[in-house]
Structure 1
Amino acid sequence: MAVLLPLIGTVLVLTALVDIFLTVLHPRSESNLLSIPVAKFLWCGFRWLAQGPPKRRDRILSYGGPTIVVALIGVWVLLLLVGFALIVWPALGTGIVAEQGNTPTDFATALYYAGFSLGTLGTGDLVPQTAPYRLLMVLKSLLGFSVFTLVLSYVLSVYNALTSRNTFALSLHHRTADTADSAVLLARLAAGNDASLYHDISDIAKDLTSLLEFNNSYPLLLYFRYRQTYYALPRIVYLAIDTATLINCALNADRYGAVAEASGAAELWYGSIHLMKELDQSIDSRAKFLPHDYAEPLWREHYDHALEVLNQNGIKTTDIPLSGAQSYLSMRHQWAPYLAKLIKHMGYLPSQIYR
């Protein structure tokens, strides 16, 4: 036991430190040890609890993201605390003794000693007597202080990224005149001159690229879900990718061909595809789709609606609507599966995301 317990404790401590390193100092969606499994497990629990009316579901799921962050921090602290407690437990009464009286040798005392060293720069009423345990006490104090600083900076970074995502969501929502309609968004973007159209598309593409990098760096952002659907991550993705699709399929090629070939439109399309593929790695692959997700007649109806909205706003549309519709359906098939999985995973109904 004198060898086994410290060995188990060392494994727990190293597990926590490796996951903190991968999550905080090397933040990539594919680089994690515990953070993504913990997030998936808790999110499944929230989705199970949220079964019922939409208002109840939205309310419960809105607490998912913050709870996952707190739980992950708790897992790190618990692993460090229990790990160091197991390391010092065999030394109670020998290498570590009480300043006065007999030294308790139970596990609770080991937890107390480990927690005191991790949380402060002191030793309390238990004092290490040998050089290895004195150095271990210093190491625990330094790790405790470092972990606290890293975790605090990580939480601040996550919420800064979340604020940027919410700002982008609101910008898209209001650009659609609060309709969540990509056709209205494109009509308003194209209502000005070509220079403003290029500029606006490029701005949206840049915001989307920033969102992609935020989600790569902080995968837990996926689980922040608000009651208001205009903040929904699937809606952000839908408005971006469907607008890019309509740019290629609905606008008149002679009048807006240069816009469709411009770098901003390319960034909007490929950035959206890239974002959905990255998010897809964090989504349960067993998610089942609804019939609505692949209803081509509804897609065609949406395309016809887009042409109508664009024409009503004086935007010149394609001369060959049938060919444009076929192109639209073909392009939508490329991203519809990813969006359907994202909507399902986040606990939304398709009608909440697009209309």
Structure 2
Amino acid sequence: MSEALPRIAGGALVLLAAYDLYRTVLVPRGRGGPVTRGVCRGVWGVASRGGDRVRAQAGPLTVVGGVAAWGALLAVGFALVTWPALGAEVTASGDAATPTGFLTALYYSGFNLTTLGTGDLVPRTDAYRLLMIAEAGVGFTYLTLALTYVMSVYDALKRRNVFALGLHQRTGDSGDAAAYLAGALPGPPAAASQDLTTLSEGLARLYEAHHFYPVLHYFRLPEPRYAMARVLFVTLDAASLIRSAPDGPDAETLAESAAAEGLWRAGLRPVRELAPLFLPDRTSDEATDQSERDLWRAHYDRSAATLRAAGVACRADDAGFARYAERRAEWDAVVRRFATFMAYDWNAIAAPASGG
């Protein structure tokens, strides 16, 4: 029984590593495996207490930590399976005495897992010869998947940052959705619809990237323009303003277009489906109080003034604001939670025209 326990524990660790690799690298939905989730939360829990430079290391450290955790689980797991066999089923080559400590088993497991094959410890039974081959195969698979995972995460990160920067530039580097709309709406509705569709497609790719690689959420750059909260604020604020502020036949055509609906739905999808995966559990968001609604009103009035200055006819303020507030209530609280969790100042995320 004493020999069976290490083998059972070792087998469980190997299965845990395999399951976590499968859930994190091969399954394009959800939070990843339990080990990876623990590494992400642990690293972010420490990094979030530091300044911007420390927080910026959270993403790379979660990737490194996840890969290292998989390797450690596999190495220790196979070592535990081998440990009871040292001196009998696995022995030193030649006539040398076989060390029987756990570190020897870990050494044997490590060179099998990395396919080094130094040969100073040799399996003497068919079962352990097959286990050596199996471990080498698992090690090769692990190294291949880990390398693919790291490359894919950084490719997705680059595409995410390019989209966020492009959105920021559309606002004139201000982070103000009204500034973007002031440049897009005065032209023909077809041109604005095309750009809204482009933004919707970018949001869809962003959403899917975070499903494929949940670790992306923990890549927290110091510049607010790259934050998920900023991307969601600008796109959802733009979609809300399109449906509330502009007036006239062209405005109605654009507001009811598939492009405007696509931007609205593409922005809401991360709010509704990614937030439960990444943000701390919360049964409900606070109701909007009057002071917050007053800030929304100030934001709406400034946005409408920006549009009017660009030659865009706007509805009467009360009618337009009522439409705007109804839509903003669907996303504001969750976007704020994204900002708070990633330690961004809301005024930096929603500057300059959001209020509060």
The alignment's TM-score, normalised by the length of structure 1, stands at 0.94
Match of 2:304 in 1: 307
Match of 2:344 in 1: 348
How far apart in 2 are the matches of 1:265 and 1:35?
37
Match of 1:43 in 2: 44
How far apart in 2 are the matches of 1:143 and 1:242?
48
Shift of 1:31: 5.1
Match of 1:213 in 2: 208
3-state SS of paired residue (1:97): strand
Shift of 1:200: 0.5
How far apart in 1 are the matches of 2:12 and 2:348?
45
User: Paired residue for 1:157, among 152, 162, 186?
Assistant: 152
Where does the alignment leave 5 or more consecutive residues of structure 1 unmatched? 51-56
Shift of 1:288: 9.6
Tell whether 2:58 aligns with 1:60: no
Match of 2:273 in 1: 278
Aligned residue pairs, count: 347
Match of 2:238 in 1: 243
Sequence identity, in percent?
38
How far apart in 2 are the matches of 1:86 and 1:330?
59
- Paired residues of 1:292 and 1:350 also in contact (CA < 8 A): no
In the TM superposition, 1:58-137 aligns within 5 A as 58-100=52-94, 101-120=96-115, 122=117, 124-137=119-132
Shift of 1:254: 2.5
Shift of 1:37: 2.8
Where does the alignment leave 5 or more consecutive residues of structure 2 unmatched? 352-356
Match of 1:139 in 2: 134
Shift of 1:296: 1.2
How far apart in 2 are the matches of 1:300 and 1:109?
69
3-state SS of paired residue (2:249): helix
Residue identity opposite 2:40 in structure 1: A
How far apart in 1 are the matches of 2:119 and 2:255?
68
- Paired residues of 2:182 and 2:306 also in contact (CA < 8 A): yes
Shift of 1:186: 1.1
- Paired residues of 2:189 and 2:250 also in contact (CA < 8 A): no
Match of 2:354 in 1: none
3-state SS of paired residue (1:249): coil
- Paired residues of 2:285 and 2:333 also in contact (CA < 8 A): no
Q: Cα 1:152–1:209, aligned 2, differ >3 Å: closer, same or farther?
A: same
The alignment's TM-score, normalised by the length of structure 2, stands at 0.93
- Paired residues of 1:95 and 1:128 also in contact (CA < 8 A): yes
Q: Which deviates further from its counterpart, 273-282 or 307-316?
A: 273-282
Shift of 1:124: 2.4
- Paired residues of 2:189 and 2:253 also in contact (CA < 8 A): no
Shift of 1:123: 5.0
- Paired residues of 1:246 and 1:328 also in contact (CA < 8 A): yes
3-state SS of paired residue (1:34): helix
- Paired residues of 1:216 and 1:278 also in contact (CA < 8 A): no
- Paired residues of 1:249 and 1:328 also in contact (CA < 8 A): yes
Deviation per CA, 1:178-202: give whole Å up to 9, x if none. 1111100111121322221111010
